[in-house]
């Protein structure tokens, strides 16, 4: 039986420059997808997967993240006074218990691997998850929960994976597959952002990871990789070289890249259409918009 995954790292130190000027004063992770900030989707997914300790790797200017997960006594009093119990329940989901959440500063932007390494003292010697809030995944069962269920059978390290067009493979970490077993693939290598035409497969790594503590040891001794950054995929690839098992997991669900403007807009439409209170009005507007475009052509 594998040791339970109860800790998750959330690398949220990025400056969000693709969303300027909005991110000049608001952390990208607080930007709202319908009516919840991106980070709330990541936290909800982690909670449903059984995560109990949440480790945020932040940077200067991210204090709004800390405030978001704190209690808001004055707001709560006003809602209670007005009898708005439904809103109180919604607000309660944003609160974190004292001690459940920790914040660590990443002083230099040296890559995802470096961000994970910053949290090493809080992980100690146990397996852990990493969640990238930019990757929002809609599924019947949360992606991390799917992975943890699979991990309990396989052990080792595991990365979420999805098939992408070969022309886009150079934008991702890509798996070199040893054995394809359906939803789970055994991995013999990983390449971060391979040159065009040199990707070993079209199976790309997406922002969910289950990692063994030995990955942290690899990161401690690792040199800079692609883009001059400390790459997490390189540390995972070292696991394979050292004879430990690494798996890719084809999750069931739709992934939205909310680190891009187009992906954020696509997610907003998809999540809006999934809401009973928004679906009809939004669908009607989209139909009218499409009709107007056709008429203009």
Tell me the range of 51-60, 76-85, 126-135 where mean pLDDT is highest.
126-135
CATH topology of domain 7-259: Spore Coat Polysaccharide Biosynthesis Protein SpsA; Chain A (3.90.550)
273 Cβ contact list (under 8 Å, min separation 6): 279, 282, 283
pLDDT digits (tens, 9 = 90+) for 226-238: 566 788 988 998 8
Question: What's the whole-number mean pLDDT along residues 197-215?
Answer: 90
Distance CA 5, CA 129 (A): 7
The pLDDT value recorded for residue 172 is: 85
Residue 136 has pLDDT above 90, yes or no: yes
Span 2-7, mean pLDDT?
Answer: 86
Determine if residue 65 is left, alpha or beta; phi over 0 gives left, psi from -120 to 50 gives alpha, anything else beta. alpha
pLDDT value at residue 227: 61
For 203, counting Cβ atoms within 10 Å of its Cβ (0-12 exposed, 13-18 middle, 19+ buried), the class is buried
- The pLDDT score that the predictor gives to residue 17 is 84
Does 172 or 265 have the greater pLDDT score? 265
Assess whether pLDDT exceeds 80 at residue 222: no
Per-residue pLDDT, 167:
84
147 pLDDT more than 90: yes
Domain limits, the chain:
7-259, 261-297
- pTM summary value: 0.89
> Residue 166: what pLDDT?
86
Give the pair of three-digit tokens for residue 54.
């949440």
């Amino acid at each position: 039986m594998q040791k339970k995954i109860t800790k998750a790292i959330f690398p949220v130190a990025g400056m969000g420059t693709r969303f300027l000027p909005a991110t000049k004063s608001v952390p990208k992770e607080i930007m709202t997808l319908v009516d919840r900030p991106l980070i709330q989707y990541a936290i909800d997914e982690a909670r449903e997967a059984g995560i109990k300790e949440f480790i945020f790797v932040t940077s200067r200017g991210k204090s709004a993240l800390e405030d978001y997960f704190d209690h808001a006594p004055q707001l709560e009093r006003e809602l209670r006074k007005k009898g708005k119990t439904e809103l109180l329940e919604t607000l309660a989901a944003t609160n974190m218990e004292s001690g459940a959440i920790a914040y660590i500063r990443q002083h230099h932007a040296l890559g995802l691997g470096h961000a994970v390494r910053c949290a090493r003292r809080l992980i100690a010697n146990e397996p852990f998850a990493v969640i990238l809030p930019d990757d929002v995944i809609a599924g019947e069962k949360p992606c991390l929960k799917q992975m943890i269920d699979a991990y309990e059978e396989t052990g080792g390290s595991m990365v979420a994976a999805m098939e992408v067009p070969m022309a886009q493979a150079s934008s991702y970490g890509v798996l070199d597959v040893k054995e394809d077993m359906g939803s789970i693939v055994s991995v013999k290598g990983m390449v971060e952002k391979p040159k065009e035409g040199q990707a070993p497969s079209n199976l790309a790594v997406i922002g969910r990871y289950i990692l063994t503590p030995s990955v942290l040891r690899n990161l401690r001794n690792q040199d800079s990789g692609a883009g001059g950054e400390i790459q997490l995929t390189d540390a995972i690839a070292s696991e394979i070289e050292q004879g430990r098992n690494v798996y890719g997991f084809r999750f069931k669900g739709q992934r939205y890249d909310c680190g891009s403007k187009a992906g954020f807009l696509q997610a907003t439409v998809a999540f809006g259409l999934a809401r009973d209170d928004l679906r009809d009005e939004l669908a009607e507007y989209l139909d009218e918009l499409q009709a107007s475009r056709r008429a203009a052509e």
